[in-house]
Amino acid sequence: MIDVIYQDDDLLFVEKPANLLSVPGKGPAGQHCFTAMLLQQEPALKIVHRLDMATSGLMVFAKHHAAQKAINLLFEKRQIDKAYIAVVDGQIDASGSVDLPLMTDWPNRPKQKVCHQQGRDSLTYYEPISFDEVINGTRILLSPKTGRSHQLRVHMMAIGHAILGDEFYANSVAFKKSSRLLLHAHSLSFMHPMTGEPLLITSKVPF
C-alpha cells in the first residue's frame, strides 16, 4: 500500500519505505522498486528525485510534464529545502556543518568518498536533537544544501559519527546498533512551482 502524504493537481508526495529501491536498478531484481509500484496506480506520474534504497521518507512526483520541468528547476537552483532525521553514533553537542567534496569510489561502487582533488562541492548542516546514553547515539536534523549521492552518510562518517545501521560507512559497532539505516527524509519546503504558494510537507519519522 502506498502512503500518500499530500497531493494536488500538480504534485504527489508519498512515503518510501526503507530498503526499497526508489527507481529501477540493474537486472530483473532491480525492477522491483517504489516507482514501479506507484506507476501501477498512477501511470502518468513523472519522476522528480530519488532516495537511497536504505533511506525511508518523503518523495515527490510530478503529475504532468510542466510540473516535472518546473520542480526539477527548483532542485537544480537549490530552492528546495530538504530536512532529514538520523541517529548517528556517538554524542554531538553543537550544531555545525560539513563542507567536503564527494565523488564516486569507483572500485567500491556504489560507495562514495571524500576527494579534494576531483570531488564535487557538498555541504551539509546538522543540528543535534537529543542524546541516547543507552545506545550512545545522537538524534540529529540534517539539512543538505547539495544533493550528492550518499552525501549525508559520507559526511557524518567523515566527522566520526556514522549513521547507525549504515552497511557502507559505519564501523561494525555502529552498524549493529540498528537493523536498518536510521535515516529518514523528513520534510520538503519550497514555493509551489505552479501556484507560487509556500509548501511545507513533512513525513513522520518511524524510529
Q: To which H or E segment does residue 158 belong?
A: helix 151-158
Terminal CA-to-CA distance of the chain, rounded, Å?
20
DSSP letter string over 166-180?
A: -TTTS-HHHHHT-SS
Amino acid at 139: R
Residues 124/145, Cβ–Cβ less than 8 Å: yes
Rounded to whole angstroms, the Cα distance separating 180 from 141 reads 18
Q: How many CB atoms lie within 10 A of CB 200?
A: 11
Q: Among 8, 10, 52, 93, which one carries the catalytic annotation?
A: 52
Largest CA distance in the chain: 50
Tell how strand 3-7 and strand 96-99 pair up: unpaired
Tell me whether residue 132 is one of the annotated catalytic residues. no
CA 111 to chain centre: 15
Hey, is 38 helix, strand or coil?
helix
Active site residues: 52
